[in-house]
Amino acid sequence: MSTFKDINQVFALIESELTETESAFSRYLGSDIDLIPKIGEHIILSGGKRLRPALLILTCGMLGGNRKTGTLLAAVIEFIHTATLLHDDVVDEADMRRGLAAANTIWGNEASVLVGDFLFAMAFDIAVDQGSMATLKSISTATRRLAEGEILELMKTADVSTTEADYLKIIDGKTAILMATACEVGAITAGAENSINKQMKEFGQCLGIAFQMIDDILDYNSCEENLGKTIGIDLEEGKVTLPLIHTLQHALPEEKEKVKEIITADYVSRQDFDFVHGLMKKYKSLEHTTAEAEKHLKRAHIILNQLPDSQEKEALHFITDYVLSRDR
Amino acid sequence: MSTFKDINQVFALIESELTETESAFSRYLGSDIDLIPKIGEHIILSGGKRLRPALLILTCGMLGGNRKTGTLLAAVIEFIHTATLLHDDVVDEADMRRGLAAANTIWGNEASVLVGDFLFAMAFDIAVDQGSMATLKSISTATRRLAEGEILELMKTADVSTTEADYLKIIDGKTAILMATACEVGAITAGAENSINKQMKEFGQCLGIAFQMIDDILDYNSCEENLGKTIGIDLEEGKVTLPLIHTLQHALPEEKEKVKEIITADYVSRQDFDFVHGLMKKYKSLEHTTAEAEKHLKRAHIILNQLPDSQEKEALHFITDYVLSRDR
């Protein structure tokens, strides 16, 4: 039976390490160029989940490393994540982020682009000071693949011929690779063997793929209040995610035609959304997506099971289950 | 007397190295994600001056290194430069770049942001494969300071209280630091002593500051045809550069008020431009800016004079003079 009953207990286990990571955020965002701490703190201190820092620190601890040695590299991963959020909001023309006004709506797209660039650059600058060539390689490759995933997503916008393979490539880049790198860097920092580093990279990747699949389900199933963003935003932005791909695979020609019209339109009405949501219920597309996520999470548990027992390992098992059960 | 009569002869000296750098561009831009080679090649193969790669390769050769060892790091510096151009055009809402339509006007801001991110990430990825910790530190710090310079410039947009010190900080970041790093990395690659690396960094910085000052003069003095961009774009974008700062320092209160109105307006007419240009003539602000640029170039020559003679050194002297004499 798990030691943990609640995700907050997982974060409590590594509270002192996460506090160090948080104080690194403030320290590295400090600049006499006002806009940097203003925008940086708006987005980074507005209470993200710190899932990626937690993955890095827990992996490091699980594999016998001193968890404290991972706190700055955890900040590096979160800086990269935050930079992509700033740039995503420009790309998506988002109005909301984490329940707050998106930075671009307050300070303009220009500022979001440049402060995002600053965060990327600062991340590399800290990584060079902290890391080894192995961690740098993991981080630089992840950042490149992150950009590739985002570009592929942009290219596939409103494209109803998007395949499951396209989708997997997109979410691998935009979400999974950074979680994979968080775990890999945690393992490297612990001084683990190369084979263990690779296993933990795969663990993070499985977790990330499932995480994004659940995110894509929540986009259709959640409401504004508890997701901190507008309902059905993916449909409005023309993002063809797994629930929609599955629906399109099973839809009748006239249904498919209607979905195509909706996803290419500038504006998606509540009625349009309900129509698509109705099709997803009809074809059990959200259940299919959940089942796909479960496959990846099962693989994540299997990888963990091969590693020596520890509190951190229990915590990572808990996170793996949490990815499926979370409602926001 | 210089061996070189023409900037093209300088580039001819390192033709085979620059060809290797060019082929690296195509190789690393190759991707099955179409937009990457499309946008990447549009901007990077549209014929920039390759000044930064040349600085790196020439410095490496001058200090006894094999020039070929610098070709991939030269590509890294040019990728970073190109990434900033893509993001700048989004920030400036530019229509033209190097005489061609700016990428954002063809593929949209979203694509320019993300392909810029890809180029940054790819640059670091190549640098990690190629470089030492010393080159990585130089590159990551430069990229961070580049972002800082751009953010400060954004904050100072249309701000008539911008000081010469603000201006120097902005151009140091947005232009000089990357040229400084090109030279420093060239020296590191040649295996030079630390003191020489620092001297060459200062050389590149002097060159870069003068380069940007001349650019800011050309913006007021050049015409659309030979600069490949619209005349007086800085005024329209509210960029308070040294010529304008100098004019504002000397202008009568009513002149200052009129300039303030013009620079904060959404649209700058030909008449407005001519008014500001007229003040610059009256107060000899372009001459003042040229004199400031000359000071930095003089320092650049002095640094070079302390180093052993070579063809590459002659070439760097020629480039130093060229920065002042170029008309585009």
**pLDDT single digits (tens) B251-262:** 999 999 999 999
Q: pLDDT averaged over chain B?
A: 92
User: What pLDDT score does B99 carry?
Assistant: 64
| Top-confidence range, A24-28, A322-326, B45-49, B200-204 | B200-204
Lowest mean pLDDT among A87-96, A222-231, B129-138, B282-291: A222-231
From chain A, the residues in CB contact with B129 under 8 A are: 137
| pTM, two decimal places | 0.93
- Record: contact B124-A140, CB cut-off 8 A: yes
A35 and chain B: CB distance < 8 Å anywhere? yes
Minimum CA–CA partner of B121 in chain A:
A144
Minimum CA–CA partner of B156 in chain A:
A33
CATH class name, domain A8-312: mainly alpha
A118 and chain B: CB distance < 8 Å anywhere? yes
Gap from A128 CA to chain B (nearest CA, Å): 6
Q: Select from B84, B144, B152 the Cβ nearest to the Cβ of A122.
A: B144
- Record: contact B129-A120, CB cut-off 8 A: no
Strand A96-97 and strand A100-101: pairing? antiparallel
Tell me which of A117, A126, A162, A237 to substitute to probe the interface with B (most B C-beta atoms closer than 10 Å): A117
pLDDT in tens, A120-145: 999 999 999 997 999 999 999 999 99
CATH class name, domain B7-323: mainly alpha
Query: Could you give the dihedral angle defined by the CA atoms of residues B313, B314, B320 and B324, in that order, rounded to the nearest 10 degrees?
Result: 180
Residue B226 has, within 13 A of its CA and on its CB side, a CA count of 9
pLDDT in tens, A255-293: 999 999 999 988 888 899 999 999 999 999 999 999 999
**pLDDT category of residue B328 using cuts at 50, 70 and 90:** low
Indicate the domain borders of chain B. Answer: 7-323
Identify the sign of the CA torsion A237, A238, A239, A243: positive
Gap from A3 CA to chain B (nearest CA, Å): 40
Task: Say how far apart CA A325 and CA A322 lie, in whole Å.
Answer: 5
Task: Say how far apart CA A206 and CA A177 lie, in whole Å.
Answer: 10
Residue A236 has, within 13 A of its CA and on its CB side, a CA count of 16
Q: Select from B35, B148, B150 the Cβ nearest to the Cβ of A151.
A: B35
Tell me which of A86, A110, A112 to substitute to probe the interface with B (most B C-beta atoms closer than 10 Å): A110
Percent of chain A scoring above 70 in pLDDT: 93
A147 and chain B: CB distance < 8 Å anywhere? yes
pLDDT in tens, B17-36: 999 999 999 999 988 898 89
Lowest mean pLDDT among A73-87, A97-111, A306-320, B186-200: A97-111
From chain B, the residues in CB contact with A129 under 8 A are: 137
From chain B, the residues in CB contact with A116 under 8 A are: 117
Nearest CA to B76 out of B138, B148, B32 is that of B138
Gap from B314 CA to chain A (nearest CA, Å): 34
From chain B, the residues in CB contact with A133 under 8 A are: 128, 133
Q: Around Cβ B50, how many Cβ atoms within 10 Å?
A: 18
Task: Say how far apart CA B169 and CA B172 lie, in whole Å.
Answer: 5
pLDDT in tens, A169-181: 999 999 999 999 9
B117 and chain A: CB distance < 8 Å anywhere? yes
| Top-confidence range, A45-59, A93-107, A191-205 | A191-205
From chain A, the residues in CB contact with B162 under 8 A are: none
- Record: contact B122-A144, CB cut-off 8 A: yes
- Record: contact B144-A133, CB cut-off 8 A: no
From chain A, the residues in CB contact with B90 under 8 A are: 109-110, 113
B33 and chain A: CB distance < 8 Å anywhere? yes
Q: How far apart are the first and last CA of chain A?
A: 25
Task: Say how far apart CA B213 and CA B206 lie, in whole Å.
Answer: 11
pLDDT of residue B224 exceeding 50, the answer is no
The ipTM (two decimal places) reads 0.93
Over residues A9-27, the mean pLDDT reads 95
Task: Say how far apart CA B199 and CA A328 lie, in whole Å.
Answer: 54
**pLDDT category of residue A233 using cuts at 50, 70 and 90:** confident
- Record: contact B120-A115, CB cut-off 8 A: no
Are A18 and A326 contacting, i.e. CB atoms less than 8 angstroms apart? Answer: no
